Amino acid sequence: MEGQYPGGSAPRRRLLNQEELAITSRLGSAVAQMNRSGNFAWGGVLSCNLRIYYERLGTDEAKGQLKLTTLPFDEEGAREIYLAGTPSPFGRGKQTVYDEEYRQAREIKVPHFALSPDPFLQSGLAGLLSRKLDYDSALIFRLNKLNAYGKGGFFKEHQDTSQGVGHIGTLILCLPSPFKGGDLLVRHGGQTTTFDWSDQVCDGEIAWGFLYSDCKHEVLPVEDGFRITLQYDVFVSDCSSDSDSDSDSDSDCAYMYDTRLKTVSSAFHEVIHGPFLPEGGVLAFGLQYEYPIEERYKNTTLGNLEFRLKDIDAVFMKCLKSTGLKWEYFGVFDTWELFEDRQSRSSDCWDGSSSPEWAEDLAKNANAETEHSSDGASTGEDDTPTDSAQSNQQRRKSDPTYRRDLWVSNSIHGVDGQFLESGSLDELDLERKSEIVWITEPYYYNVKNDYHTYGNEYQKETIYAAVAVKVFLPAVGDAIRQPRPTTEPLNKRKRTD
């Protein structure tokens, strides 16, 4: 993690007044507006004369035979390639399972098939995606498998298994064959993008769709025919270094122009130069996507997250860096997800008659935190522990930026039953930070639940992590918070000749 809290230990804070709340709400809406861009998945069509060589898998006497097919598939050609595949498994945590309730499809994995030419390279799609995704380093596209769905075939909602720290996206190509249904639905931030490819491929073209691989997605049942897709994993190269960067090295270079920057920048300007927290404070923003990290307990390295930020997270961080404020990434954990997750896992063995150790730990820490926290607006005095719950509720009502039930940690790891069983919250490295002014809440939390454990493959060395950003606002008087000199218009300058 970069940086320390400037000036020593973190202060508890007072509640914000109405004027300050209005400023946070303007900054929050500017960031949220930017987050609603729906840029998490997009697609198009391309043309390519393609040959596919594939090996017959399965168990019959034709196993091992090499076949060649050209596009577009007719019904028979599509059936043949479907039958050549093996039933698709999917990943549930560390295991690979076959479950027709969850996924009904067949697949042929590399190297049991080959494309000539690769439609993706042939069409220039690699260049188009590189420009659109706008990373500093090159993208790598790795062909993974061919999926085939017969009538009734589907793949329920899942998140693609993370394939390494640099893994950012998934590219699907839908090959031309006669089929109906089988829409691919991609969800993120409360929005859904639908790829209905059955019409787009009927003239022999290839339809494609890109999605950030942490986005949840599903394939609806195929109503007729065979739906054949190719799946590529997309990586950002050069993500191997362990050092996190808080440098402004890229803030000057105009690698990205985005009109969304302007609104957020002026909202930040108001936070820094307006009548807002003159004593200074800590603001927090949840990133909108999840990022693969190495699965190590108490992990504090984000492996050059700067170079693999996705979509609006990259825009937001660019904007934040241009303010000159100090910032730091941290992990976020939601108490209720922790409770619910643990309760659902332990429902067989915990009858609710006595509190299990983990619940007592959570309650103890919550009380300790309440006892330390600051009181109502602008007094800065301590609570009496007796009315803590009630006053806590009142605080929440009068100042929604005060979020007590979010747990934060400088280390980022997935919390599941195993960690909770291991005992105390100290070990989990979670705390409540009552000084934080929450501007936008995270969309994801580091609690492993169903969609985290269901992937398209079993989970390997990396897991997705939910990340938030702390921003340190110094007190008025600090260099950053001096009023900006207004530049004199050119035509009013005194003549010196």
Ligand X SMILES: O=C(O)CCC(=O)C(=O)O
- Residues at the contact surface with Fe ion, assessed by CB under 5 A: 160, 456
The entry of ligand X, Fe ion, none that residue 161 binds, CB within 5 to 8 Å by partner kind: none
The entry of Fe ion, ligand X, none that residue 147 binds, CB within 5 to 8 Å by partner kind: ligand X
Select 143 or 471, whichever has its Cβ closest to Fe ion: 143
The entry of ligand X, Fe ion, none that residue 184 binds, CB within 5 to 8 Å by partner kind: ligand X
Residue 233 phi/psi, 5° resolution? -95, 140
The entry of ligand X, Fe ion, none that residue 334 binds, CB within 5 to 8 Å by partner kind: none
The entry of Fe ion, ligand X, none that residue 14 binds, CB within 5 to 8 Å by partner kind: none
Select 87 or 324, whichever has its Cβ closest to ligand X: 87
Residue 188 phi/psi, 5° resolution? -160, 135
Single-letter amino acid, residue 466: A
Task: Give the SS3 label for residue 126.
Answer: helix
Going across the sheet that includes 281-294, the strands are 406-409, 326-334, 462-473, 281-294, 436-440
Q: Should residue 160 be labelled a site residue for ligand X when binding is judged by CB under 6 A?
A: yes
Smallest separation (angstroms) from Fe ion to the CB of 153? 14
Smallest separation (angstroms) from ligand X to the CB of 162? 12
Q: Should residue 155 be labelled a site residue for ligand X when binding is judged by CB under 6 A?
A: yes
Select 160 or 341, whichever has its Cβ closest to Fe ion: 160
Smallest separation (angstroms) from Fe ion to the CB of 290? 15
Select 168 or 172, whichever has its Cβ closest to ligand X: 172
Whole-number Å distance between alpha carbons of 399 and 396: 5
The helix, strand and coil proportions of the chain, stated in percent and rounded to the nearest 5, come to 25, 30, 45
Single-letter amino acid, residue 365: N
Task: Pick out residues in 422-441 that bind ligand X (CB under 6 A).
Answer: none
Q: Is residue 50 within 8 Å of residue 71, measured between CB atoms?
A: yes
Smallest separation (angstroms) from Fe ion to the CB of 406? 29
The entry of Fe ion, ligand X, none that residue 319 binds, CB within 5 to 8 Å by partner kind: none
Q: Strands 436-440 and 281-294, how do they pair?
A: parallel
Select 11 or 44, whichever has its Cβ closest to ligand X: 44
Q: Is residue 447 within 8 Å of residue 341, measured between CB atoms?
A: yes
Smallest separation (angstroms) from ligand X to the CB of 454? 11
Select 234 or 420, whichever has its Cβ closest to Fe ion: 234
Q: How far is CA 105 from CA 102, 147, 159, 184, 376, in A?
A: 10, 7, 17, 14, 58
Smallest separation (angstroms) from Fe ion to the CB of 189? 18
Buried b (16+ CB within 10 A) or exposed e, 263-289: bbeebbebbbeeebbeebbbbbbbbbb
Using the 8-state DSSP alphabet, how is residue 124 labeled?
A: T
Select 233 or 328, whichever has its Cβ closest to ligand X: 233
Select 197 or 268, whichever has its Cβ closest to ligand X: 197
Instruction: Measure the CA dihedral 285/442/165/215, to 10°.
Output: -130
Q: Should residue 459 be labelled a site residue for ligand X when binding is judged by CB under 6 A?
A: no
Smallest separation (angstroms) from Fe ion to the CB of 213? 8
Select 160 or 214, whichever has its Cβ closest to Fe ion: 160
Residue 90 phi/psi, 5° resolution? -145, 165
Smallest separation (angstroms) from Fe ion to the CB of 358? 33
Select 160 or 441, whichever has its Cβ closest to Fe ion: 160
Task: Pick out residues in 191-250 that bind ligand X (CB under 6 A).
Answer: 217, 219, 229, 231
Whole-number Å distance between alpha carbons of 16 and 22: 10
Whole-number Å distance between alpha carbons of 331 and 470: 10
Single-letter amino acid, residue 174: C
Which of 184, 206, 406, 467 binds ligand X (CB under 6 A)? It is 184
Whole-number Å distance between alpha carbons of 287 and 458: 26
R_g of the chain, CA atoms, integer Å = 26
Smallest separation (angstroms) from ligand X to the CB of 233? 10
Q: Should residue 172 be labelled a site residue for ligand X when binding is judged by CB under 6 A?
A: yes
Task: Pick out residues in 92-151 that bind ligand X (CB under 6 A).
Answer: 147
Q: Which residue is nearest to ligand X (CB)?
A: 456
- Could you tell me the two tokens for 46? 């391309």
* Helices 311-323, 260-273: crossing angle, 10 deg rounding: 40
Q: How far is CA 209 from CA 45, 47, 171, 190, 458, in A?
A: 9, 14, 6, 19, 23
Q: Is residue 112 within 8 Å of residue 55, measured between CB atoms?
A: yes
Smallest separation (angstroms) from ligand X to the CB of 168? 15
Smallest separation (angstroms) from ligand X to the CB of 95? 16
The entry of ligand X, Fe ion, none that residue 440 binds, CB within 5 to 8 Å by partner kind: none
Binding site for ligand X (CB under 6 A): 147, 155, 160, 172, 184, 217, 219, 229, 231, 456
